């Protein structure tokens, strides 16, 4: 299993530095937290990791692989999966079809086999449908399988996005405010799922607003403010850090 | 019966060819590309096939195959500069491509016959070949829809950022869609060449662009049946009522405006969606009774 290592990464939009000289490590088998006030640069950092945005300075490595300049679809193929802060589902597709596309990375079917509709291609599709149904069961979403994803309630849409990211069987998952807008019970349920993923060896980067949620769940926490990393450490260290308290109370 | 067949024979062949062009248009849109290149690609397939047979004496099946391959290759090449463009810019760039193909057809008269047309093409293709080609095309498009590539197309069409976040290469699949579109257009262009005596560059101009787009928009952009149903309706309407035929273009325009305003998914997709929602509602009702 590979660790994500970010070294001296900056991103400028015109003259504005959204992220400045950030160093960070996300190891496998742990839940790493990333907190910070609105506009701190958390989502920008995820977009830099996943190749949606190109870095202005610095390097990003995943295991032995340098992914600094790698385009988004290749970062995904390297085993890094993500969810989006503003949920992005295939709104017209059914819930199960949304999950099915997640399996894409590990599908064995070749393009010619798919074009010719070979038996092997159809068999793999059927097998993936079974696996998608199992995933739906695990998330308690079976009864929504055939519904259009765009019509679901907010919390259910979040779950669909999570299932889709997990279907790609990533080594590292980046969650951009996955429990925003959920009540404590729902958030707690998902928190348990995140811990389970880490126990099975996955690296989890959890971006969150809610300091309490992060501190109960994470093994290690980074704090970003105005694009700079102002603190990092265990949850206990973080909640008692004067710089963090100022950043949160000051904003 | 045989009387009926003679009268409608020509219309049926027009329908089969039109369905082919509609599916060529459909497959790029399926992958989220707003290309109107189908007319130009069909022209390339038609002229390639006709020239190889009339000037070089190639057997017509081989010429049609060559036209199909040249259409595919042109589609693939076209996808390279278009990879950076999106939406309306793709439409404009592919419109320019069609204009260039028409212009080349008009000016290189030693090869294409120019505005006078490429004449004396033997009539060697009929309903049987058209039908076979359409069935093969439908098979491949259904196969794609049921397997890996279809899922990638669907994801790209709805949200490119999501598709690439899951490892789907947008560039690769849009090139693939262009190649398929070129193959289908080239194939049906080649078939058309051997059932018309004469080819004119303007046969594959703005009129065909509008027709192919209309077939897809009216029928639907999601299911394979959509463009075929759209073609059938738009070709049959002017036949059932002669006065309508005189105003064919105006009629297309009015139908398009009505469909876009009131049924943006097209006839077939709207129907399928209605059926699906009804089935889900019935299922939900049955579950709540338990
Ligand atoms: N594409 C962009 N172009 C210009 N500025 C951007 C862009 N994306 C983000 N920013 C700016 O970068 C800063 C960080 O934003 P963001 O990463 O979304 O913060 P967070 O996710 O921590 O709330 C904000 O000031 C935002 O306006
Ligand atoms: Mg954000």
pLDDT in tens, A187-197: 898 899 999 99
- What is the DSSP pairing of strand A220-225 with strand A228-233? antiparallel
- What pLDDT is stored for residue A21 in this prediction? 96
- What pLDDT is stored for residue A57 in this prediction? 95
Chain B hits for A72, Cβ within 8 Å: 161, 164-165
- Averaged confidence pLDDT in chain A: 93
Whether B1 shows a pLDDT value over 60: the answer reads no
Buried b (16+ CB within 10 A) or exposed e, B53-84: bbeeebebeebbbbbbbbbbebbbebbeebbe
What band does B46 get if pLDDT is binned at 50, 70 and 90?
very high
Q: A117–B144: do the CB atoms touch at under 8 Å?
A: yes
pLDDT in tens, B101-133: 999 999 999 999 999 999 989 999 999 999 999
pLDDT in tens, B73-83: 999 999 999 98
- What pLDDT is stored for residue B187 in this prediction? 98
Centre of ligand 1 from the C-alpha of residue A180, in Å? 18
Is B286 part of the contact surface with chain A (CB cutoff 8 Å)?
no
Centre of ligand 2 from the C-alpha of residue A136, in Å? 27
Residues with CB under 6 A from ligand 1: A 13, 18, 36, 38-44
What band does B4 get if pLDDT is binned at 50, 70 and 90?
low
What band does A82 get if pLDDT is binned at 50, 70 and 90?
very high
- Chain centroid offset of residue B5 CA: 25
Whether B190 shows a pLDDT value over 90: the answer reads yes
- What pLDDT is stored for residue A201 in this prediction? 96
Using DSSP's 3-state secondary structure scheme, residue A25 falls into strand
In degrees, to the nearest 5, what angle opens at C-alpha B205 toward C-alphas B202 and B210?
A: 140
Give the pTM.
Answer: 0.92
Whether A120 shows a pLDDT value over 90: the answer reads yes
What band does B182 get if pLDDT is binned at 50, 70 and 90?
very high
Q: Tokens 């259910």 appear where? A: A156
- Is ipTM over 0.90? yes
Whether B3 shows a pLDDT value over 90: the answer reads no
- What pLDDT is stored for residue A245 in this prediction? 84
pLDDT in tens, B206-253: 999 999 999 999 999 999 999 999 999 998 888 777 777 778 778 888
Distance CA A221, CA A239 (A): 10
Whether B153 shows a pLDDT value over 70: the answer reads yes
**Pocket test residue of A19, A22, A39 for ligand 1, highest count of atoms within 8 A of CB:** A39
- What pLDDT is stored for residue B250 in this prediction? 82
Q: Which domains does chain A have, with CATH numbers?
A: 4-79+170-249 (3.40.50.300)
Q: How does DSSP assign B207-265, residue by residue?
A: HHHHHHHHHHHHH-SSSTHHHHHHHHHHHHHHHHSHHHHHTHHHHHHHHHHHHHHH-TT
- By C-alpha distance, the chain A residue nearest B278 is A147
Q: B140–A115: do the CB atoms touch at under 8 Å?
A: yes
Q: A116–B140: do the CB atoms touch at under 8 Å?
A: yes
- What pLDDT is stored for residue B39 in this prediction? 98
Give the number of whichever ligand sits closest to the CA of residue A222: 1
Distance CA B193, CA B43 (A): 9
- What is the DSSP pairing of strand A80-82 with strand A57-62? unpaired
Chain A hits for B139, Cβ within 8 Å: 117
Distance from CA of A92 to the nearest CA of B (A): 8
Centre of ligand 1 from the C-alpha of residue A13, in Å? 9
Q: Which domains does chain B have, with CATH numbers?
A: 2-289 (1.10.3470)
Q: Which two tokens stand for residue A111?
A: 């393009």
Question: By mean pLDDT, which of B29-33, B235-239, B266-270 is the weakest?
Answer: B235-239
Is A36 part of the contact surface with chain B (CB cutoff 8 Å)?
no
Whether A11 shows a pLDDT value over 60: the answer reads yes
Q: In what order do the strands lie in the sheet with A16-26?
A: A16-26, A4-13, A57-62, A65-66
Centre of ligand 2 from the C-alpha of residue A176, in Å? 7
Ligand 1, residue A40: give the atom nearest the CA.
22
Centre of ligand 1 from the C-alpha of residue A207, in Å? 14
Is A180 part of the contact surface with chain B (CB cutoff 8 Å)?
no
- By C-alpha distance, the chain A residue nearest B150 is A114
CA atoms within 13 A on the CB side of A145: 15
- What pLDDT is stored for residue A33 in this prediction? 96
**When comparing pLDDT for B228 and B10, which is higher?**
B228
- What pLDDT is stored for residue B24 in this prediction? 98
Centre of ligand 1 from the C-alpha of residue A41, in Å? 6
Report whether A50 contacts A75 (CB < 8 A): yes
Is B169 part of the contact surface with chain A (CB cutoff 8 Å)?
yes
Distance from CA of B105 to the nearest CA of A (A): 32
Chain A hits for B163, Cβ within 8 Å: 73, 101
Distance CA A33, CA A195 (A): 12
Distance CA B240, CA B254 (A): 17
Whether B50 shows a pLDDT value over 80: the answer reads yes
Distance from CA of B270 to the nearest CA of A (A): 12
What stretch of H or E contains B68? helix B60-82
Give the number of beta-carbon pairs within 8 Å between A and B: 107
Distance CA B169, CA B173 (A): 6
Question: By mean pLDDT, which of A30-34, A219-223, A238-242, B93-97 is the weakest?
Answer: A238-242
Q: Is B261 exposed, middle or buried (0-12, 13-18, 19+ CB in 10 A)?
A: exposed
Chain B hits for A113, Cβ within 8 Å: 147
- What pLDDT is stored for residue A250 in this prediction? 61
Is B275 part of the contact surface with chain A (CB cutoff 8 Å)?
no
In chain A, DSSP assigns E strands to: 4-13, 16-26, 31-35, 57-62, 65-66, 80-82, 172-176, 203-208, 220-225, 228-233
Q: A104–B167: do the CB atoms touch at under 8 Å?
A: yes
Q: Is A178 exposed, middle or buried (0-12, 13-18, 19+ CB in 10 A)?
A: buried
- What pLDDT is stored for residue B5 in this prediction? 67
Ligand 1, residue A47: give the atom nearest the CA.
17
Whether B156 shows a pLDDT value over 60: the answer reads yes
**When comparing pLDDT for B287 and A18, which is higher?**
A18
Is B147 part of the contact surface with chain A (CB cutoff 8 Å)?
yes
Distance CA B149, CA A124 (A): 12
In degrees, to the nearest 5, what angle opens at C-alpha A212 toward C-alphas A206 and A216?
A: 70
- What pLDDT is stored for residue B56 in this prediction? 95
Ligand 1, residue A176: give the atom nearest the CA.
21
- Averaged confidence pLDDT in chain B: 93
Q: B154–A101: do the CB atoms touch at under 8 Å?
A: yes
Question: By mean pLDDT, which of A202-206, A227-231, B199-203, B245-249 is the weakest?
Answer: B245-249
Centre of ligand 2 from the C-alpha of residue A248, in Å? 16
Residue nearest to atom 16 of ligand 1 (CA): A41
Q: Return residues 220-249 of A near B (CB < 8 Å).
A: none
Distance CA A165, CA B167 (A): 11
């Amino acid at each position: 299993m590979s660790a994500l290592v970010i070294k001296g990464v900056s991103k400028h939009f015109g003259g504005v530095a959204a992220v400045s000289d950030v160093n960070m490590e996300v190891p496998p088998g742990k839940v790493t937290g990333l907190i910070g006030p609105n506009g701190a640069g958390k989502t920008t950092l995820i977009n830099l990791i996943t190749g949606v945005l190109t870095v202005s300075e610095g390097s990003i490595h995943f295991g032995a692989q340098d992914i600094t300049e790698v385009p988004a679809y290749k970062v995904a193929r390297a085993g890094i999966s993500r969810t989006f802060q503003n949920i992005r589902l295939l709104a017209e597709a059914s819930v199960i079809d949304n999950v099915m596309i997640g399996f894409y990375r590990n599908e064995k079917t070749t393009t010619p086999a798919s074009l010719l509709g070979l038996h092997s291609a159809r068999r793999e599709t059927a097998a993936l449908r079974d696996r998608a149904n199992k995933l739906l069961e695990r998330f308690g979403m079976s009864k929504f399988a055939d519904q259009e994803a765009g019509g679901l309630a907010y919390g259910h849409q979040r779950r669909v996005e999570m299932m889709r990211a997990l279907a790609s069987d990533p080594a590292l998952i980046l969650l951009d405010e996955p429990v925003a807008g959920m009540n404590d019970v729902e958030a707690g349920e998902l928190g348990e799922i995140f811990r389970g993923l880490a126990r099975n060896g996955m690296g989890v980067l959890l971006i969150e607003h809610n300091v309490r949620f992060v501190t109960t769940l994470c093994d290690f926490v980074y704090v970003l403010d105005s694009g700079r990393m102002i603190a990092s450490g265990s949850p206990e260290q973080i909640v008692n850090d004067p710089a963090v308290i100022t950043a949160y109370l000051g904003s | 019966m045989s009387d009926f067949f003679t009268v409608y024979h020509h219309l049926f062949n027009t329908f089969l060819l039109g369905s082919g062009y509609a599916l060529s248009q459909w497959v790029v849109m399926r992958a989220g590309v707003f290309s109107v290149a189908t007319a130009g690609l069909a022209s390339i397939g038609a002229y390639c096939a006709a020239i190889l047979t009339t000037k070089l004496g190639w057997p017509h099946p081989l010429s049609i195959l060559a036209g199909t391959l040249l259409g595919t290759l042109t589609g693939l090449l076209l996808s390279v500069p278009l990879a950076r463009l999106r939406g309306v810019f793709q439409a404009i760039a592919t419109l320019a491509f069609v204009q260039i193909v028409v212009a080349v057809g008009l000016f290189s008269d030693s090869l294409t016959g120019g505005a006078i047309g490429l004449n004396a093409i033997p009539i060697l293709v009929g309903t049987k070949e058209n039908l076979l080609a359409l069935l093969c095309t439908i098979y491949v498009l259904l196969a794609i829809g049921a397997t890996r590539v279809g899922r990638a197309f669907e994801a790209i069409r709805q949200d490119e950022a999501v598709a690439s976040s899951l490892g789907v290469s947008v560039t690769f699949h849009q090139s693939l869609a262009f190649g398929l579109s070129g193959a289908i257009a080239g194939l049906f262009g080649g078939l058309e060449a051997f059932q018309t005596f004469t080819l004119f560059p303007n046969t594959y101009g703005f009129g065909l662009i509008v027709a192919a787009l209309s077939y897809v928009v009216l029928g639907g952009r999601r299911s394979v049946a959509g463009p075929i149903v759209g073609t059938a309706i738009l070709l049959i309407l002017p036949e059932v009522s002669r006065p309508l035929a005189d105003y064919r273009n105006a009629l297309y325009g009015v139908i398009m405006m009505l469909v876009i305003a009131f049924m943006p998914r097209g006839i077939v997709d709207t129907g399928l969606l209605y059926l699906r929602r009804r089935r889900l509602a019935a299922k939900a009702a049955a579950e709540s009774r338990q």
